[in-house]
Structure 1
Amino acid sequence: MKPHIAEILKGFIIGVLANLAGTYLYIFFFSDSSLEVTLKDARANDLLGSLIALGAILNLIVFFIFLKKNQYYRARGVVLATVLAAIAVLISKFL
């Protein structure tokens, strides 16, 4: 595997994990219910896409950290993870 593809893959994985962590942190701080109950309620009320989008805010921080460290391929991976989150939001809103 080419070195730049491995770096993009690392950035992508970090971006997905950051999105999951951001979603969890949002639920932890702003929801009175447990994680499972909040996710079930969000799915029932068509708010799951909003939770994913709020979790993607953490990707912004990771992206700028990679840019500051001149790790441009990892930053590209984070952008790909953010695009994946945007597609998940679109799918959850329209389906």
Structure 2
Amino acid sequence: MNKRDLLLGFLIGLATTLLGSYIFITFFTDFKFIAGIHILKSQGSLGKIITLGSIMTLIAFGLFLKLNKEMMARGVLLAVIVLAILTLFI
């Protein structure tokens, strides 16, 4: 049960980051989502977009702590750490 909750929290962390990046690209730039990713990657700004998108994970993290789902909150935190390491190489 614990590993399942950790994995579910990790997937939710990745999904909220993707959702936050989607919202940022579609509302604050003139690009469509996929085209925006390609253009921002060529400009070297993709790591910054992923970082801004991960702000949405704060909501998920706080919600899981409020609901006493500590393992899911750990999964969300693990997703943030993996994404932070990933942005170093992008």
Structure-2-length-normalised TM-score: 0.96
Aligned match of 1:17? 15
- Greater radius of gyration (CA): 1
Could you tell me which residue of structure 2 aligns to residue 86 of structure 1? 84
Gaps of 5+ in 2: none
Q: Among the aligned pairs, what percent are the same residue? A: 38
TM-score when normalising by structure 1: 0.91
Q: Say which of 3, 6, 19 aligns to 1:8.
A: 6
Question: Residue in 1 aligned with 2:56?
Answer: 58
* TM-superposition CA deviations, 1:27-79 (whole Å, max 9, x none): 11101121122111111110010011011100111000000000000000000
Query: Matched residue pairs, number?
Result: 90
User: What is the RMSD computed on CA atoms of the aligned residues?
Assistant: 0.8
How many Å separate the matches in 2 of 1:19 and 1:31? 17
Structure 1: stretches of 5+ with no match in the other structure: none
